[in-house]
Structure 1
Amino acid sequence: MGYKTIIFDLDNTLLNFELCERQAILGALEACGISLDLNGVNETIFLQVYETYNSKHWRQRESFSPGELIEMSYRSTLAHLDIQTDQISNLSQSFWHIFNHSAVMEPNVNEVLTVLARSYRLAVITNDFVSAQVPRMQAAGIEHFFEEVIVSEAIGFAKPSPEIFNHALSGLDLTPAQVLYVGDFLAHDYVGAMQVKIDFCYYNRKNQILPQEAQPKFMIGELSKLLELVN
């Protein structure tokens, strides 16, 4: 296949975003002394309500800082569930600290990266904030595997924009044919890679049925299967 470099998405490809976020949401409540049990709310309900508001507020990421967005999510969730507290600001700070030091990885990440690093240059393209993505990679102890880590905030373009992929190709001095991109999100990862003619490996971690128009070069259900494709 002639690949020289394998570029990875970060969230839900190398790091398990859902579990990292869950740790931060609930950990911040504990750090600020807010008991869901005493308020008659179970964790599942709280997380569902939080995610609903969080998805809404994070659509405004161009207008607010991460701390402000998290604060808005907690404020809306607590009001919805009628939980009284004066700890909103502290909740946001605790969340951000816990989240940025979370290191829950997808299965076999260290083993896969260790083997691949012997034969390939490795890099990451990820959307989101530098202040979150880089510390999380450091907390997981995987940052040393990567020659380049391209974060959307730092360059002003986000997936699926072809500009972020072209930025990576330019920085690594590679042609699209020399790269395999691995990610879990068809709308960002697959679409972006296809626009610049980079072969895409879909990490189908939840065994989802693909829409008919999606035709990735490869599809794997476990990261360890990547080794069989390229070695």
Structure 2
Amino acid sequence: MDGTIMTGELKGVIFDMDNTLFDFIEAKITACTAIVEFIGKGEAHELLSYFRRKKYGFEDLENISDYLIEYDMYSEQMFNDCCAIYEREKISTIELYPGVKDTMLDLKEMELSIGILTDADKNNASKRLRKVGLCGCFDSLFTYDMTGHKKPSHEPFTYALDSMGLKAYETLYVGDSLRRDIIPSKQIGMVTVHALYGDYSHPDDNVQAMERPDHTINAFRELLTIIQNGNRS
């Protein structure tokens, strides 16, 4: 490929979910705040740092267990109460970034295939998408328990493309992480759009990125301009 994709050749757009469609980190901070207020110890960002460890995973509730143990607050009842608080506050706080729903509906009117690719499992992903009212705005949802691999592996991206009947060069991929979204999708030939507004990555992730995005957006609605222009930068 010569690095150019014309509007007429564009067949699909695949989105990352968390921090691309909505601010998931802020929702987790709110949930962590509710927990530390409930137990009367600690600080929300400290609890969030437990989720950022690689010990269990970013979604695993065992991170809360470790936090309670650290503060000598663990009991089965306390753990269950904190998990319930966390899940309730996390989901209730999630809100779409401005312009997301209208833009996705505009893309569907252009007869583009719309997919969402996430490392979340189907149950968690579906809860979030229902909460923000995006069900019906996309054609395909691909989750970790479907693909069997997490980003930055190439497998989730190729799985999504194959399932949607798309070629990499005719598909935009939009994500917030250079390391986990942009590098792997660009390596397999997709046209990449970095959602800078949602990038919470550690600075080292960006410094070490070997691939630059084809486009960068500071607001979701800017995606339409990229598609209408029809060219890689």
| Same topology, TM > 0.5 | yes
Gapped regions of structure 1 (runs ≥ 5) = none
Whether the aligned pair in 2 keeps the contact of 1:8 and 1:181 (CA below 8 Å) is yes
Q: 1:214 to 1:195 in 2, by over 3 A?
A: closer
- Residue 94 of structure 2 corresponds to 103
- Residue 13 of structure 1 corresponds to 20
Deviates more, 1:205-214 or 1:109-118: 205-214
- Post-superposition Cα deviations, 1:117-146, rounded to whole Å, max 9, x if no partner, equal 211221111112222111100110012111
CA distance in 1, matches of 2:199, 2:122: 30
- Residue 3 of structure 2 corresponds to none
CA distance in 2, matches of 1:224, 1:183: 14
Percent sequence identity is 20
Are 1:74 and 2:81 matched, yes or no? no
- Residue identity matched to 1:114: L
Aligned length: 214
Equivalent residue runs for 1:55-74 within 5 Å:
55-56=52-53, 59-61=55-57, 69-70=60-61, 72-74=62-64
Q: Shift of residue 28 of structure 1?
A: 5.1
Q: Shift of residue 22 of structure 1?
A: 2.3
Q: SS state of the match for residue 172, structure 2?
A: strand
Q: SS state of the match for residue 14, structure 2?
A: strand
- Residue 145 of structure 2 corresponds to 153
- Residue 52 of structure 1 corresponds to 49
CA distance in 1, matches of 2:199, 2:119: 23
CA distance in 2, matches of 1:103, 1:158: 22
Whether the aligned pair in 2 keeps the contact of 1:10 and 1:125 (CA below 8 Å) is yes
Are 1:216 and 2:213 matched, yes or no? yes
Q: 1:75 to 1:168 in 2, by over 3 A?
A: closer
CA distance in 2, matches of 1:189, 1:152: 14
Which of 103, 118, 138 in structure 2 is aligned with 1:112?
Answer: 103
Q: 1:131 to 1:102 in 2, by over 3 A?
A: farther
CA distance in 2, matches of 1:134, 1:84: 30
CA distance in 2, matches of 1:157, 1:213: 21
Q: SS state of the match for residue 174, structure 1?
A: coil
Q: Shift of residue 10 of structure 1?
A: 0.4
Deviates more, 1:215-224 or 1:78-87: 78-87
TM-score normalised to the size of structure 1?
A: 0.81
Q: SS state of the match for residue 109, structure 2?
A: coil
Q: Shift of residue 96 of structure 1?
A: 2.6
Deviates more, 1:47-56 or 1:217-226: 47-56
- Residue 223 of structure 2 corresponds to 226
Q: SS state of the match for residue 122, structure 1?
A: strand
Deviates more, 1:198-207 or 1:128-137: 198-207
TM-score normalised to the size of structure 2?
A: 0.80
CA distance in 2, matches of 1:206, 1:142: 18
- Post-superposition Cα deviations, 1:21-68, rounded to whole Å, max 9, x if no partner, equal 1233334567xxx263xx5x5xxxx11210222222x54349xxx5xx
Whether the aligned pair in 1 keeps the contact of 2:24 and 2:94 (CA below 8 Å) is no
Q: Shift of residue 84 of structure 1?
A: 7.1
Q: 1:196 to 1:180 in 2, by over 3 A?
A: same
